[in-house]
């Protein structure tokens, strides 16, 4: 019965992961890279040189290739795995089993998707080659005064979600309210912080550091003390086994009495 309920929670958790990943990545990518610049910098903003970008592109290309040709990657991977786990009875045929054969079908389906996207993009280019394409300010339902400030920020993008799951978050708010009949300026800044991270990671880390701070007198920067620690260590290393043997002999002697 308990295992059943836990299975249900596991399934719901796994299903939520996909949706949360969608929300997280659209928020991060959309707020940082898309739309109008939300923050004006005082220096000129330009992209770094191609040599700095090339390794990033190489890593991204490798990830995509592993996704599209998983069997190739698994064939390469089997040799080190055999070395470490001693699966000598596995021939040079790669992994078998239900889960990994699914990867092959998924990559076939991904090829269909990529092929279809390329065909449609080509069709679109061909259809639009003789038609007028104009570039105008964003229509946005006829809004006449767009600025960069009306765009969604990260906090506002997930506002509904953080209100629903508010018990897991701490929201820090810095606010200067609108005052008077002719207000001059106002601003609002919210930062969320994960409560679980605060209680499970931050608090133990801080308390552990406080405990270790009591022993900080060992590190006082004077060379003489460090040489003294070395001498004490050598004395202990030599004398403790000797003393241990002597103590064992004494106990044997006492046992004989």
Partner 1 sequence: MLSFLLIILAAAFFTGIIIRTKSIASGRKGPGLFQPIKDVVRLFKKGAVYSETSSFVFRIAPTIYFSSVFVAMLVVPFGQSKWLISFNGDFIFFAYVLGLGKFFSIIGAMDTGSSFEGMGASREALYSMFAEPAFFILMGSLALLTGHTSFQEIFATLHLGSSITYALGGLAALVFLMIAMIENSRMPLDDPKTHLELTMVHEVMILDNSGFDLGLILTAGYLKFAIYGAIIFNLFSGTISYEYAIPMFFVMQAFLAFVVGMIESFMARFRMNHNAQFIVVLSSVSLLIFFGALLVSGKFI
Cα–Cα separations (whole angstroms), residue 212 to 208, 216, 223, 230:
6, 7, 22, 21
Site string for partner 1, 69-108 (x = CB under 8 A): -----------------------------x--xx--xx-x
Number of chain positions touching partner 1 (CB under 8 A): 61
Question: In which residue are the tokens 């959309």 written?
Answer: 30
Q: Which of 56, 133, 181, 242 binds partner 1 (CB under 8 A)?
A: 133
Phi, psi of 184 (to 5 degrees): -90, -65
Would you call 87 exposed, middle or buried from its count of C-beta atoms within 10 A (0-12, 13-18, 19+)? exposed
From the list 144, 160, 219, 220, which residue makes contact with partner 1 (rule: CB under 8 A)? Answer: 160
First to last CA, the chain: 62
Decide if residue 169 touches partner 1 (CB under 8 A). no
Instruction: Tell me the C-alpha to C-alpha distance, in Å, between residue 255 and each of 43, 216, 241, 244.
Output: 84, 45, 21, 16
Among 58, 116, 170, 248, binds partner 1 (CB under 8 A): 116
Q: Is residue 121 a contact point for partner 1 (CB under 8 A)?
A: yes
Give bridge partners of residue 191 from the DSSP assignment: 172
Radius of gyration of the chain (CA): 32
Q: Which stretch binds partner 1 (CB under 8 A): 69-77, 111-119, 200-208, 217-225?
A: 111-119
Q: For residues 2 and 5, what is the distance between their CA atoms, to the nearest angstrom?
A: 5
d(CA 240, CA 245): 9
Query: Least distance from C-beta 5 to partner 1, angstroms?
Result: 10
What is the nearest approach in angstroms of partner 1 to the Cβ of residue 37?
Answer: 9
* 63 binding partner 1? (CB under 8 A): no
Verify binding: residue 219, partner 1, rule CB under 8 A: no
Q: Name the residues that contact partner 1, by CB under 8 A.
A: 4, 8, 11-12, 14-16, 18-20, 22-23, 25-27, 29-31, 34-36, 98, 101-102, 105-106, 108-109, 112-113, 116-117, 120-121, 124, 127-128, 131-141, 143, 146, 148, 150-152, 156-161, 164
């Amino acid at each position: 019965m308990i295992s059943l309920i836990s299975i249900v929670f596991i399934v719901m958790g796994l299903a939520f992961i996909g949706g949360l990943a969608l929300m997280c990545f659209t928020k991060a990518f959309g707020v940082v890279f898309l739309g109008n610049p939300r923050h004006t910098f005082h220096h000129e903003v330009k992209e770094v040189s191609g040599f700095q970008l090339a390794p990033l592109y190489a890593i991204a290309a490798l990830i995509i290739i592993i996704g599209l040709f998983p069997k190739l990657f698994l064939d390469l991977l089997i040799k080190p795995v055999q070395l470490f786990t001693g699966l000598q009875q596995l021939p040079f045929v790669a992994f078998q089993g239900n889960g990994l054969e699914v990867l092959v079908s998924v990559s076939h389906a991904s090829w269909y998707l990529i092929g279809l996207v390329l065909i449609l993009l080509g069709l679109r280019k061909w259809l639009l080659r003789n038609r007028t394409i104009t570039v105008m300010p964003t229509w946005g339902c006829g809004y006449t005064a767009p600025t960069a400030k009306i765009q969604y920020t990260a906090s506002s993008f997930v506002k509904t979600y953080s209100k629903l799951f508010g018990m897991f978050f701490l929201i820090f708010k810095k606010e200067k309210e609108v005052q008077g009949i002719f207000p001059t300026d106002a601003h609002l800044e919210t930062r969320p912080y994960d409560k679980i991270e605060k209680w499970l990671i931050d608090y133990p880390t801080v308390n552990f550091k406080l405990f270790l701070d009591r022993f900080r007198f060992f590190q006082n920067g004077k060379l003489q003390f460090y040489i003294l620690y070395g001498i004490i260590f050598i004395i202990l290393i030599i004398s403790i086994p000797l003393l241990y043997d002597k103590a064992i002999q004494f106990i044997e002697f006492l046992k004989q009495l």
